[in-house]
Chain A
């Protein structure tokens, strides 16, 4: 599993909440600079996988490694300082602070930068996410698309090597989603690995080179997006066993 070039990996990862098994024995790896999409029906354990990778919860079994080091015992803040950033499905800007300040806290705490270096990092993240005109707006006054961009920019400001995105396209119009795809492609072009959970498959496949499909806490298919979407097990998971005649994708 420790293939050269692997940046973030999970092996034998399990997560249970009491008697409820949400993740059972998941193996998952991302190479440096790679973009991986995760799909699966509701309740498949996608968000839980992201939470265990980012450190929001400790795993019940297995381990998470980042650059070959075991980070299973570290909390989200410590993993963020090492280079694992995450955005939430429901954007949570810090209200009462401007967009720029939102980024500044991230660049200083998560990126470990000070003074001018921190400010430059924030400007760069603003530019990257096309938020420069909004720099002095307060976080809570932003609309949905801008809040999602702020989530991205704030994660970028921490200087990540891996960016974990949770359904960032949800609730957007097609045009807005296209804006977002452009930003994420640019982030990827900088060599930042992206792990992206998304229900809107057609925007996902514009970015990712590999798709992982989960169901009931397990990985059921993995590979090139087209192949995964035609996989019999994937079609079963989404549409039930009788739908083979009409493949999705």
Chain B
């Protein structure tokens, strides 16, 4: 219901535009300097903004939270639950979506309606933004300068990351907790994006026995013996801060909790693997290799 005023605004726009609604043909879209873009991935949205395409965006999905300007855009919900009519109503020329999304009937319908749906492969690597930019450049007229800026920023942050890892001679064991309130706490296993960022930041995943996210027993928390607990800021907030963390059985007994080594970072920043990936890794590396307060 928060979107109601926006909806009204848009309906007004449509009514206002309707006499001028001419048939959208290939020629029209080709000659337009700036196509209308919908991004259905938080990472791609962030990257498109970094590449100076923010003004071309006409809608984003629910995971698009950065930069702040995304709040002004129509939110299209989750990618598994798209409203085809509303998407067509935005009259996009291009829809960018994570290539991991497959068999999505709504996207198929949109493609049938003549919208170009581009599946962009995304990987949990530092140069993911550069790779994705190459894919985007195949469909958009991206200014060279903005591509260079994205690359330069990543390189600068990679150097900072290397500097942060220079003096580090240990690889702290890091436990990534995905929390949505105390009742729903999952732990990142192998092959997750959380593990990727932990390794990039010079740590090791405290969990090596399973893949993906799983709930953990109190004993397994103690056995994992993490030096650091890593969380999303939103996840830590859902537990009412570090004090609430102690209510999860087993957590209070871990070395990480006893030494108050709990790191919370924004979800899109930490695991987005967008243009700020190296910056996030460098910041995490700094947190992981703090001199012990004792």
Question: Does chain A bind chain B?
Answer: no
A residues adjacent to B (C-beta < 8 A): none
Residues of B within 8 A of A (CB): none
